[in-house]
Structure 1
Amino acid sequence: MYRRFVDESKLVWDRPEPPQRPSPTPLSRDMIVQAAIRLADADGMEAVSLRKVAADLNAGPMRLYGYMSTKDELLDLMVDAVFGEIPLTDPGLPWRASLTSLAHGIRTAVLRHEWLADLLGGRPNLGPHTLAYVEASLAALYASFGDIDTAMHVSSTVNAYVVGAVKAEITDLHVERISGRTEQQWQTWAGPYLSRLIATGEFPTLAKVVEDATHPDADTLFDIGLGYVLDGIATRVNSG
């Protein structure tokens, strides 16, 4: 019933904000988005709804529908606001340094706003900050490789690694909190079971992992994986 106040023929990025009116509670699209981010940071995505955001701002829910028509639009605005926190790279930076910096920017943003992990990798976000991030990535690649298709494919490949890695990292953090066990405590708890399986001789490679492999911290693991991806890209492009 409230959507009649919004021109849904335009994307939320194209819609002007409603005119300000005398009110004891000032409101703006940015205020709404920042309130939603605060709620999500504190209590997760389940804490975010137009009703709850309105309550946080001491405003009536109906007023919010002048700024966005659905929760999906609010989520798009939240994601784009967080992308605005990521430092962009200089256009003259070599492609590998640029993509490394941008990848770390995404990871830092997700660790600061863990709910973001659930919103990455879905439908494209067309917000200005998100598009600026994509532009920085593509510009570095195109300047180095001179082929826009190569730039797009490389950017997509690196993005797939980064999204997968940060989602896995956040999932591990959530599991740790829910279970109440640290990784070391989990290993101690599961150790006897794994030892019995390894003793059967049916899992020789898994035995090498348990007995001989190093177990780097999350920061190092992210860099190792990113390095493999970038090394593979460099080899593929240079051999072509």
Structure 2
Amino acid sequence: MLVWERPEPPDRPVPTPLSRERIVQAAINLADEDGLSAVSLRKVAAELNVGPMRLYGYIDTKEELLELMLDAVYAEIRPSGETWRETLRSLAEGIRQAAHQHEWFADLIGGRPQLGPNTLTSGEAVVAGLSGMSVDIIVPVMAAVNAYVIGAVRREITERRAERSTGTDMKQFQAAYGPYLRRMLATGRFPSLSTLIHDGPHLTPDETFHTGLDYLLDGIEARLSS
């Protein structure tokens, strides 16, 4: 029986009561603090001040725990909107905000479909918001938006982690590599890149995300109108 349908052990008088919700929240707290590498059944048990074996009445494996954590974060993502475009934008921004709040979330999304109750609720809201489209259109449209958001969010989180691990932010990175890049461009071997680097806009992460999302939604709209 999947963890979503498996009943929890009955309540009993113990010094430290447990529930799946408490276990998942403790795991999320650990992951928020130190990443997914900090999450193990032993560490979660220590966080709750219980023996590790007590957790097995609620979850069977670490993989189940990760699924529950992922689904718990999806409870924070509630897509809404009056139009399909507003709904998809709400979904994209909700996923991005969740990943900024819980960086480890970006490591777990993008694989096999997540089927927890909160994830299904989020998906239901998106499909309902696209009710004017045919099913043949909804499937690739949702896939395209999810692919864009997951890629964009992972890039942002990777940069955050790089800044922490190196102690160097993007401006410092650019300053360090600037002389080398200028020498390479001066060879004349990269004229297109040279034009892009010298004349292109320098967008903030927010501008980059929202501009790319606008291009994607514009493309969907053009396809729907064709």
Query: Where on the TM-score scale, by shorter chain, does this alignment land: which range?
Result: over 0.9
1:108 pairs with one of 91, 97, 101: 97
Q: Which residue of 2 aligns with 1:56?
A: 47
Q: Is the 8 A contact 1:138 1:152 kept in 2?
A: no
Does 2:24 correspond to 1:33? yes
Structure 1 segments unaligned to the other structure (5+ residues): 1-9
Q: Which residue of 2 aligns with 1:237?
A: 224
Q: In 2, distance between residues paired with 1:238 and 1:70?
A: 48
Q: Which residue of 2 aligns with 1:22?
A: 13
Equivalences for residues 28-107 of structure 1 within 5 A: 28-89=19-80, 93-107=82-96
Does 2:151 correspond to 1:164? yes
2:214 pairs with one of 202, 223, 227: 227
Does 2:144 correspond to 1:144? no
Q: Which residue of 2 aligns with 1:205?
A: 192
Q: Is the 8 A contact 2:78 2:125 kept in 1?
A: no
State the TM-score, normalized to the length of structure 1: 0.92
Q: In 1, distance between residues paired with 2:123 and 2:77?
A: 12
Using the aligned pairs only, state the percent identity: 57
Q: In 1, distance between residues paired with 2:132 and 2:153?
A: 27
Shift of 1:132: 1.0
Q: Which residue of 2 aligns with 1:135?
A: 124
Shift of 1:209: 2.2
Structure 2 segments unaligned to the other structure (5+ residues): none
Q: What root-mean-square deviation, in Å, do the aligned CA atoms of Structure 1 and Structure 2 show?
A: 0.9
Regions of 4+ moved over 3 Å: none
The letter for the 2-side match of 1:119 is: L
Q: Is the 8 A contact 1:94 1:144 kept in 2?
A: no
For each residue in 1:99-128, what CA deviation from the matched residue of structure 2 results, as whole angstroms up to 9, or x when unmatched? 101110100000000000000101211111
Shift of 1:87: 2.8
Q: In 2, distance between residues paired with 1:82 and 1:104?
A: 14
Aligned length: 226
Q: In 1, distance between residues paired with 2:138 and 2:129?
A: 8
The letter for the 2-side match of 1:194 is: L
Equivalences for residues 181-200 of structure 1 within 5 A: 181-200=168-187
Larger mean CA deviation between 31-40 and 126-135 belongs to 126-135
Q: In 2, distance between residues paired with 1:164 and 1:188?
A: 26
For each residue in 1:130-161, what CA deviation from the matched residue of structure 2 results, as whole angstroms up to 9, or x when unmatched? 111111112222x222x112111101111110
